[in-house]
């Protein structure tokens, strides 16, 4: 805990900028050395998984960085080996995958919301260390993060999603029932940690009651765990144009009119709303 109540967005942006530059360098290191990186993001609803993943992925090559946020399993997937649906999302050489929730659904949301039996959960907890051992032994860099937030903070974020039309899509009927099972999620998490926190694939818990501070802490921790990623930038021959820059020309169709910023809604101080 930092002792601060909240980190303002301008200050967050200033602090995050050098970290995101490091991530851009890290992605180049992954690409040029053929590394494979998997980062698992787990936590309660509203904790901040999606925003953190967005912050990382926006500075990376989308052909190199895959975000895996799997929907509910299909009927066929329910008949498969549990880990099977996640394997196609593992990275090839030079790639990284950010899991917005992962195979650990079987240790958290599924048993808490009665989507699997306790026997299925226990079988998963026995199997997952061996599954992750295979990933690590094959050379994958695997990092697992749990994002923590108190129920009071979670309720405030649910309220924001309820009232904000830009975030309303994040709410689902399951959230209504999940809110009443906060303690059950805590117990499931503790059981999961006790069974799957290993020396080769450890968990890291990050306080996300302040999402900006939590995001900075997670970014810094992840960068510190990855080997030295400093590679010289290759020189690129970039000759000048052979003529003056040309204007865009149109024949068949014309662009639509420019956005009328003079008529855009403004607040009392004249700023754009």
3-state SS record for 32-71: HHCCEEEEEEEECCCCCHHHHHHHHHCCCCCCCEEEECCC
State pLDDT tens for residues 214-249. Answer: 999 999 999 999 987 778 888 889 999 999 999 999
Burial class (CB in 10 A: 0-12, 13-18, 19+), 176: exposed
Q: How does residue 265 score in pLDDT terms, banded at 50, 70 and 90? A: confident
Structure tokens at 180: 């009443």
pLDDT at 187 over 70: yes
Query: If 0-12 CB within 10 Å is exposed, 13-18 middle and 19+ buried, where does residue 44 land?
Result: buried
Query: For residue 2, what pLDDT is reported?
Result: 42
Q: From CA 161, how far away is CA 13, in angstroms rounded?
A: 23
| Interval 127-153: pLDDT, tens | 999 999 999 999 999 999 999 999 999
The closest of 69, 208, 178, 196 to 115, measured between CA atoms, is 178
φ and ψ at residue 101, rounded to 5 degrees: 70, 160
pLDDT of res. 1:
38
pTM for this predicted structure: 0.90
Nearest to 141 by CA among 99, 103, 96: 96
88-124 pLDDT, tens digit per residue, is 999 999 999 999 999 999 999 999 999 999 999 999 9
* Domain ranges (residues) in the chain: 9-225
What is the pLDDT at residue 259? 87
User: Quick one: which of 268, 206, 220 has its CA closest to 41?
Assistant: 206
The pLDDT of 42-64, averaged and rounded, is 96
- What are the residues facing 96 on neighbouring strands? 37, 65
pLDDT value of position 89: 98
Q: With CA atoms as reference, report the closest residue to 128 among 110, 98, 106, 113.
A: 106
Fold of the domain built from segment(s) 9-225: Rossmann fold (3.40.50)
Q: Are 50 and 81 in contact (CB under 8 A)?
A: no
Give me 117's structure tokens: 């039996």
């Amino acid at each position: 805990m930092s002792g601060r109540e909240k980190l303002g967005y301008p200050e967050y942006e200033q602090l995050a900028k050098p970290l995101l530059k490091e991530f851009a360098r890290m992605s180049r290191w992954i690409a040029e050395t053929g590394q494979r990186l998997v980062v698992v993001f787990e936590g309660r609803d509203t904790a901040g998984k999606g925003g953190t993943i967005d912050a990382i992925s926006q500075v990376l090559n989308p052909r190199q960085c895959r975000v895996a946020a799997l929907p509910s399993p299909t009927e066929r997937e329910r008949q498969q080996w549990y880990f099977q649906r996640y394997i196609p999302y593992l990275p090839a050489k030079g790639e990284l995958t950010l899991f917005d929730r992962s195979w650990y659904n079987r240790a958290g949301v599924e048993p808490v919301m009665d989507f699997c039996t306790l026997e299925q959960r226990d079988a998963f907890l026995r199997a997952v260390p061996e599954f992750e051992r295979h990933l690590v032994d094959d050379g994958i860099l695997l990092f697992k993060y749990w994002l923590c937030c108190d129920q009071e903070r979670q309720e405030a974020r649910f309220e924001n999603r309820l009232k904000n039309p830009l975030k309303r899509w994040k709410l689902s009927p399951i959230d209504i029932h999940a809110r009443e099972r906060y303690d059950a999620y805590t117990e499931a998490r503790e059981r999961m940690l006790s069974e799957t926190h290993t020396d080769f694939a450890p968990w890291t818990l990050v306080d996300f009651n302040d999402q900006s501070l939590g995001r900075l802490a997670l970014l810094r921790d992840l960068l510190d765990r990855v080997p030295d990623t400093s590679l010289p930038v290759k020189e690129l021959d970039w000759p000048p144009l052979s003529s003056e820059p040309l204007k865009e020309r149109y024949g068949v169709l014309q662009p639509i009119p420019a956005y009328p910023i003079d008529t855009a809604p403004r607040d009392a101080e004249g700023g754009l709303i």
